[in-house]
Amino acid sequence: DGGITQSPKYLFRKEGQNVTLSCEQNLNHDAMYWYRQDPGQGLRLIYYSQIVNDFQKGDIAEGYSVSREKKESFPLTVTSAQKNPTAFYLCASMGQGYATNEKLFFGSGTQLSVL
Amino acid sequence: AQSVSQHNHHVILSEAASLELGCNYSYGGTVNLFWYVQYPGQHLQLLLKYFSGDPLVKGIKGFEAEFIKSKFSFNLRKPSVQWSDTAEYFCAVNAGGGADGLTFGKGTHLIIQP
């Protein structure tokens, strides 16, 4: 089945620790996105990448880092600089024709909590 | 930068009632508009989208939305809700049709009482 796979489903972070959330897609999509979902806040864009080896900051990039070495993969690292990391993290991708009419495909999310 | 405002954070309705969820956006140029739904324990799913043409858009599960450009609005409607419509609903906008992601509203939590 084509889709987006996020892992792990649940992740716990200790103080001062960096953690990495995985996002893999086999949809051959060029564009990939990371969103953070907090109760009552909706989804906020952290980082996005429109092509391999290139990415841009979203609205709340501070304390996060990403890489896009392969088209299929867009891992997100939550660094120790992110003081409030507890949230539900959603990865999404969008394919060809995104400038006109495509839609986002979402993964099932990773719930990150601080110990 | 664009922004999206959803007026109601929590809505409680009885089955068979009519639904209208408000959504306003701020952006002066061309926009693509979306409504997404998140059922309990499930992925975000696209309900409907507007890019151009007829401003009244029909989506899945009997939902529709009307784009009113003069009001910068894209309200979601359903004439008769069901218990299974209980979910979180998000309005989103993509300004200019680019691939720089969507801006989401804060969501409306809809509860349908049987």
In the DSSP assignment, the letter for residue B22 is -
Query: Residue A97: what pLDDT?
Result: 56
Question: Between B43, B98, B102, which is nearest A99 by CB?
Answer: B98
Would you call B90 an interface residue with chain A, using a CB distance cutoff of 8 Å?
A: yes
What mean pLDDT comes out for the span B88-106? 84
For testing the chain A interface, which of B43, B60, B88 should be mutated: the one with the most A CBs within 10 Å?
Answer: B43
pLDDT higher than threshold 70 for residue A30:
yes
Minimum CA–CA partner of B6 in chain A: A42
Cβ of B100 within 8 Å of Cβ of A50? The answer is: yes
A36-79 pLDDT, tens digit each = 999 878 899 999 999 999 999 999 999 999 999 999 999 999 99
Average pLDDT, chain A: 89
> What pLDDT score does A85 carry?
93
User: pLDDT for B3-58, tens place per residue?
Assistant: 899 988 999 999 999 999 999 999 878 888 999 999 988 878 889 989 888 999 99
Q: Does A43 touch chain B (CB under 8 A)?
A: yes
Query: Is residue A18 less than 8 Å (CB to CB) from chain B?
Result: no
The conformation of residue B102, written as its DSSP 8-state character, comes to: P
For residue B13, what are the CA distances in angstroms to A39, B16, B48, B80?
21, 9, 22, 10
Looking at residue B97, its pLDDT comes to 62
Phi/psi at A71 (5° precision): -60, -35
Q: How far does CA B1 lie from the centroid of its chain? A: 20
Q: So what's the pLDDT on residue A37? A: 92
Q: What is the pLDDT of residue A100?
A: 41
- Asked if the model's pLDDT at residue B2 lies above 90, the reply is no
CB–CB of A60/A44 below 8 Å? yes
Query: In this structure, what token pair is assigned to residue A18?
Result: 């960096």
CA distance A22 to A24: 7
Q: Give dist(CA B38, CA A109) in Å, integer.
A: 12
Q: Between A35, A44, A101, which is nearest B51 by CB? A: A101
Lowest mean pLDDT among A4-8, A42-46, A103-107: A103-107
Q: Is B107 on the interface with A (CB under 8 A)?
A: yes
A40:B103 CB<8 A: no
Can you read off the two tokens belonging to residue B35? 């409504």
Supply the pLDDT for residue B98: 67
The pLDDT score that the predictor gives to residue B114 is 87
- pLDDT for B77 equals 98
Q: How big is chain B by its Cα radius of gyration, in Å?
A: 13
